[in-house]
């Protein structure tokens, strides 16, 4: 969607909690500064402080910033170095993956207590269709209030909610409601809400498209709505022109899809300093493969395509993939394919980032695993599943291979929000 910064904040009484919510059966609930709020919840002494969560290394990226930090101009996706310059007294914390995952599960459980029609967009936001829930829980606005109360009372977190007739408008409503607010956009007032917004509030309008539209004199959603479709077509192409025209008139026929299919599962890590040593890169791929394997097993899926991503020091990015006959969630197998893909690149340049991703996902329960000739019935998958159980009980330090103990060269690379890993397998050294 368009950038959230493009949506003006502030309260308009026409769209307050007392507005007519007849027909407004779509809720968009977005947790406020989620990663930062979870960190502050664990350390209450940080409340009211400029807390910034993300990669803490020199090449880290901000994942979330408290509203106190945002007053200094700190935003998500901003380089950590830039955030430090803007907010030198900020409190910089790494992403605590386990705490975030647990909080996300609790948040989604509250949503599903309200309605089974929940479409998560990320770990901290979702669309809800409350059409059927109204019979038990009352009006949409009352349901939104109850969700916000439960977040405060049960999770000590705040959220912002948009209540509207469509997903697109509900998403804009929650953005306008931030932080810790509730916006209702009545059906008859949808165009009053939409048309004053800047063009980059529309889904699909990034900086480049917004600049193209502005050159044509189209600066607001209302001007897009009243522009000839042919003009839009010449600026952004056929498909995008139709898409923007429909959205500008508030038309969004999409329903809430609770079975939102995960297309891939992956992990990346950015090095603090560029790396050319194959041994370091090999261990990084091993660590990432282990992380991805654990995520696949936790999600109950397997995949057939293993892909790697390599970003060179000059920011050129190379992607390679291989599709195998049998789907897998085994970190050992994922690593072996990843390393084979990397060595085939023959890369000699320094490397800034590496990533591993699995695509072509299917549920584990529907996939029968075919053993190779001579392969034991129980092997790496069972060992990795046992390790999952150990980690679930004792934490990530409960089981580690000797090859990664005391190796600071790898740990220094783990400044990516999704790269804190403790691999199981210890492959032979590269020849």
Q: Which residues pair with 284 in a beta bridge?
A: none
Q: Is 377 a catalytic residue?
A: no
- Write the pLDDT tens digit of every residue in 116-148: 999 998 889 999 999 999 999 999 999 999 999
pLDDT at 8: 59
Q: CB count, 10 Å around CB of 35?
A: 27
pLDDT at 426: 37
Could you give the domains of the chain?
A: 35-96 (3.40.1170.60), 195-248 (1.10.150.20), 264-367+375-411 (3.30.1490.100)
Above pLDDT 90, what percent of the chain? 57
- Write the pLDDT tens digit of every residue in 154-187: 999 999 999 999 999 999 999 999 999 999 999 9
Q: Which residues pair with 250 in a beta bridge?
A: none
Question: And the tokens for 249?
Answer: 């008139």
- Write the pLDDT tens digit of every residue in 208-262: 888 889 999 999 999 999 999 888 888 888 888 888 999 999 999 999 988 666 6
pLDDT at 285: 94
Question: And the tokens for 345?
Answer: 């690149």
- Give just the sign of the alpha carbon dihedral 214, 246, 134, 186: positive
- Write the pLDDT tens digit of every residue in 352-392: 999 999 998 888 765 545 544 444 444 556 665 665 555 55
Binding site for Mg(2+), by residue number, is 30, 124
User: At 313, is the pLDDT very low, low, confident or very high (cuts 50, 70, 90)?
Assistant: confident
Find the catalytic residue in 125, 268, 333, 414: 125
User: At 301, is the pLDDT very low, low, confident or very high (cuts 50, 70, 90)?
Assistant: confident
Cβ–Cβ < 8 Å for 331, 289: yes
Q: State how far the Cα of 61 lies from the Cα of 57, in Å rounded to an integer.
A: 9
């Amino acid at each position: 969607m368009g950038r959230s910064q493009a949506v003006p904040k502030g309260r308009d009484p026409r769209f307050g909690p007392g507005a007519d919510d007849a027909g407004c059966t779509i809720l968009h609930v977005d947790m406020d500064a989620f990663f930062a709020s979870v960190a502050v919840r664990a350390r209450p002494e940080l409340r009211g402080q400029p807390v910034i969560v993300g990669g803490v290394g020199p090449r880290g990226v901000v994942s979330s910033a408290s509203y106190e930090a945002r007053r200094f101009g700190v935003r998500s996706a901003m380089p950590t170095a830039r955030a430090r310059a803007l907010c030198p007294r900020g409190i910089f914390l790494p992403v605590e993956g386990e705490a975030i995952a647990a909080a996300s599960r609790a948040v989604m459980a509250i949503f599903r207590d309200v309605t089974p029609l929940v479409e998560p967009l990320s770990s901290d936001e979702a669309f809800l269709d409350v059409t059927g829930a109204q019979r038990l829980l009352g009006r949409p606005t009352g349901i939104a209030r109850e969700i916000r109360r439960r977040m405060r009372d049960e999770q000590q977190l705040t959220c912002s909610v948009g209540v509207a007739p469509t997903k697109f408008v509900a998403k804009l409503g929650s953005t306008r409601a931030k932080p810790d607010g509730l916006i209702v956009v009545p059906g008859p007032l949808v165009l009053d809400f939409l048309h004053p917004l800047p063009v980059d509030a529309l889904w699909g309008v990034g900086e480049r498209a917004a600049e193209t539209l502005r050159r044509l004199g189209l600066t607001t959603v209302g001007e897009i709505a009243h522009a000839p479709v042919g003009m839009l077509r010449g600026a952004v192409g056929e498909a995008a022109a139709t898409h923007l025209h429909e959205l500008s008139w508030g038309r969004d026929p999409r329903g809430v899809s609770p079975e939102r299919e995960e297309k891939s599962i992956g992990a990346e890590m950015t090095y603090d300093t560029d790396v050319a040593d194959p041994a370091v890169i090999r261990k990084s791929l091993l660590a990432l493969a282990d992380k991805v394997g654990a995520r696949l097993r936790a999600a109950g899926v397997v995949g057939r395509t293993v892909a790697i991503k390599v970003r060179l020091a000059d920011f050129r990015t190379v992607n390679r993939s291989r599709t195998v006959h049998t789907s897998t969630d085994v970190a050992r197998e994922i690593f072996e394919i990843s390393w084979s893909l990397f060595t085939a690149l023959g890369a000699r340049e320094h490397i800034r980032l590496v990533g591993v991703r699995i695509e072509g996902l299917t549920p584990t329960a529907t996939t029968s695993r075919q053993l190779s000739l001579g392969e034991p019935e129980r092997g790496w998958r069972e060992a990795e599943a046992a390790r999952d159980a150990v980690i679930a009980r004792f934490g990530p330090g409960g089981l580690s291979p000797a090859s990664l103990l005391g190796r600071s060269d790898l740990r220094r690379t783990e400044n990516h929000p999704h790269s804190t890993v403790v691999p199981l397998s210890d492959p032979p050294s590269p020849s």
